[in-house]
A = this chain, B = another copy of it.
């Protein structure tokens, strides 16, 4: 039962990079080609490609080939539900920082 925690942790790790979060958001609206995704996240293609491979390996995205193009899509849409909670944590942190700032 130790292994199950490592598997779960891998999913979070897959989401623990700003570029990968942008990718997930970008394809959440619908399937997108790599070129589009590269524009969407504004990073180097080879870099984006590795992040895509990682998200796919984690089971969060799946891909489909069509001619020269490869299209990625969100395999598990429920990950989008994380974001409102994550924003809540971020907000709490920022408010905490603001309160600390007041005391200086």
Binding site secondary structure of chain A:
helix
Instruction: Give how many copies assemble into the complex.
Output: 2
Min CB distance, A6 to chain B, in Å? 5
Report how far A10 CA is from B7 CA in the complex, Å: 19
CB distance B18 to A16 under 8 Å?
no
Selected from B22, B79, B81, B96, the residue in CB contact (under 8 A) with A5 is B22
**Per-residue B-contact encoding for A2-26, CB less than 8 Å = 1, 0 else:** 1011111111110111111110000
Q: Mark A63-104, 1 if CB is under 8 A from B, else 0.
A: 000000000000110110111111111101110100000000
Counting contact residues on chain A (CB < 8 A from B), the size range is 35 or more
A58 within 8 A of B: yes
Kindly state whether residue A60 has any CB partner on chain B within 8 Å: yes
15 A-B residue pairings within 8 Å (CB atoms): A4-B90, A6-B18, A9-B17, A11-B86, A12-B82, A12-B86, A15-B16, A58-B89, A59-B92, A75-B89, A76-B88, A76-B89, A76-B92, A78-B85, A79-B85
